[in-house]
Chains A and B, each alone.
Chain A
Amino acid sequence: MATTEIVRDDRRLSPWQGTARQFDYFWTVYRRTWKSSVISSFVAPLLYVLAMGVLLGTFVHVSPGRLEGATSYLAFIVPGLIAAQAMQTAVSETTYPVMAAIKWHKSFWAQMASPLEVRDLANAMLVFTLFRVGSTCGVYFLVMAPFGVFATWWGPVLAWLSTMLVGMAFGTWTFAFSAFIDGPDAFGLIYRLGLVPLFLFSGSFFPVSNLGTVLEGVAKVTPLWHGVNLTRMLCLDRVDGSTALVNVVVLVVVLVSGWWLAIRMLERRMAT
């Protein structure tokens, strides 16, 4: 070769190509580290089902009317716990890992030296989050199926899609927040003032009508309640069309706005 020429490939990657190339990175990392997610993603939620659903459930003797149509406390609590797990999985994938990619191991900066754009980094990480939510909740649904808590076979399939909607509604906004803040100090507060109260008061463990009118209203504003309600209606085959539509619209609006904001916030962060 006579001359060495640095070829700059100016053809821009389409969003699909960029996302696909970058997703490969997350997939490779996950293939090497998936074992560490087994306990928090699969064992921990099943322990909750066993403790609260099966064992505590033996002490709950109320009519299905008090449990939003569920014939047992276990059937009532399982859809709620899976929806809450979707939220937790998505949030844990979009807090410290985002901070690490920006600030600690700085992989985002390294990846920016390739033809990838900021948009691709955010998209791929969110698609990976979707994969984590989908696989975690999918396993959860499969494991719960033999317990006879689902009314139909197609209900849980649709409910699985609804849990992914829940996960991504939270994952996108958390991603945007993580790209916005300077350091990880706020994460502890997010968990304690955001995730824990949502987990406990969004209708996973008991019908929100038990909270009283005012707090019930507050609970019904949270995206997690919409997700829990939608998931439960599908699992119990008690779908109320108009409520379901509201639930879906709320979650989709939160998800789409969050995704847009996530890309915006990362672009802003990487531009400085």
Chain B
Amino acid sequence: MSAASVPAQSPAESSPHSSPLRPWEGTGLLVLRNYVTYRRQWKLFVTGFLEPVFYLFSIGIGVGKLIHSFEVGGHTIPYAEFVAPGMLAASAFNGALMDSTFNVFFKLKYEKLYDQMLATPLTTSDIARGEIIWGQLRGASYSVAFLLVMWALGLVHSWWAVLAFPATLLIGFAFSAVCMGLTTYMTSWQDFDKVLLVQLPLFLFSGTFFPVTAFHGVLRWVVEATPLYRGVVLCRELTTGVITWESGVSVVYLVAMGLLGLLVVRRRLETLLLT
């Protein structure tokens, strides 16, 4: 029904009823909903921040006493300074992965939350964007806190480190989008074993605990092509202040990955929930 064929309507009535919410309004509603439900679990929220800090103290400082130093971009840095940005990136990755797999799967399959939401004026795009932005808000607060811990421990020596914060957002965005897309293909909790099978190798072998020089030949090429490795080196380049053209490659890689994921999520939610 075009506006021209039905003249003399009031402005409120002439607005299309199929989508009375603007994208940012729909997204905002979902974020608010998550905030309200998550408020009760503030202890889990607070302790979520502690995990990477524990790893930093244990591996960075405890194991660091057994390892002298590593070279990053021509500079020799102590082990703790090497591990810290790796933990920063890995924490953004782990948070995004957990939020966009376990939580989304539970809402999709068990709570049937998205079915309910789609009975309201919310669209699948609103849900995809809202969930990802919510995960980002949560991850962002962890990243800021962790960067402050790094700074307090004297592990940051460059102003570029400020940009490590948006870098963690980028890591979170890329993984949230892709993992949420993959979650829509899961059928049972058993599939989460496969999540662990991807999560753990990425966490352990992405240059988080030791440099990529530990790998040789094709293996090294594979590691360098994985998304978390790009995120880890990006964060490390920023906190140590050694920016190269490779940093740009990492940024483009993660942005592309996130956008691709977002596209898949929207289409999959439409297939799953609107047919």
Which A residues are closer than 8 A to B by beta carbons? 36, 38-40, 43-44, 47-48, 50-52, 55-56, 58-62, 66-67, 73, 185, 188-189, 192-193, 196-197, 200-201, 205-206, 210-211
Contacts and interface: CB of A to CB of B under 8 A. Distances in A.
Contacts of A189: 43-44, 47
B210 A196 contact: no
Contacts of B67: 56, 59-60
A210 B67 CA distance: 12
Given A39-B196, A60-B67, A210 B209 contact: no
A56 B47 CA distance: 27
Most A Cβ at <10 Å: residue of B58, B61, B66: B66
Contacts, number: 87
B44 A206 contact: no
Given A47-B204, A52-B209, A56-B210, A40 B196 contact: yes
The 10 closest A-B pairs by CB, nearest first: A200-B58, A51-B204, A206-B62, A192-B47, A39-B193, A55-B214, A210-B65, A56-B210, A60-B66, A206-B63
Contacts of B70: 59
B193 A51 contact: no
B149 interface: no
Contacts of A39: 193, 196-197
Interface stretch (B49-57, B110-118, B229-237): B49-57
B193 A196 contact: no
A39 B201 CA distance: 12
Contacts of A55: 205, 209-210, 214-215
B196 A192 contact: no
Nearest to B190: A36
Given A56-B209, A189-B44, A205-B58, A36 B50 contact: no
B193 A40 contact: yes
Interface in B166-212: 190, 193, 196-197, 200-201, 204-205, 209-210
B54 A48 contact: no
B66 A196 contact: no
A201 B58 contact: yes
Interface residue tally on B, bucketed by range: 20 to 34
A100 to B, nearest CB: 13
Q: Give chain B's interface secondary structure class.
A: helix
Nearest to B69: A59
B54 A200 contact: yes
A58 B214 contact: yes
A55 B200 CA distance: 15
Given A48-B204, A59-B67, A73-B66, A188 B58 contact: no
A230 to B, nearest CB: 20
Contacts of B209: 51-52, 55-56
A78 B70 CA distance: 24
B205 A51 contact: yes
B63 A192 contact: no
Given A51-B204, A56-B67, A188-B43, 15 more contacts: A36-B193, A39-B196, A39-B197, A40-B193, A47-B201, A48-B204, A51-B209, A52-B204, A52-B209, A56-B63, A60-B66, A188-B44, A189-B44, A200-B54, A200-B58
Given A47-B200, A51-B205, A205 B47 contact: no
A197 B62 CA distance: 13
A197 B54 contact: yes
Contacts of A40: 193, 196
A192 B66 contact: no
15 contacts: A39-B193, A39-B197, A43-B197, A51-B210, A55-B215, A56-B67, A66-B66, A189-B47, A197-B54, A200-B54, A200-B62, A201-B54, A201-B57, A210-B61, A211-B62
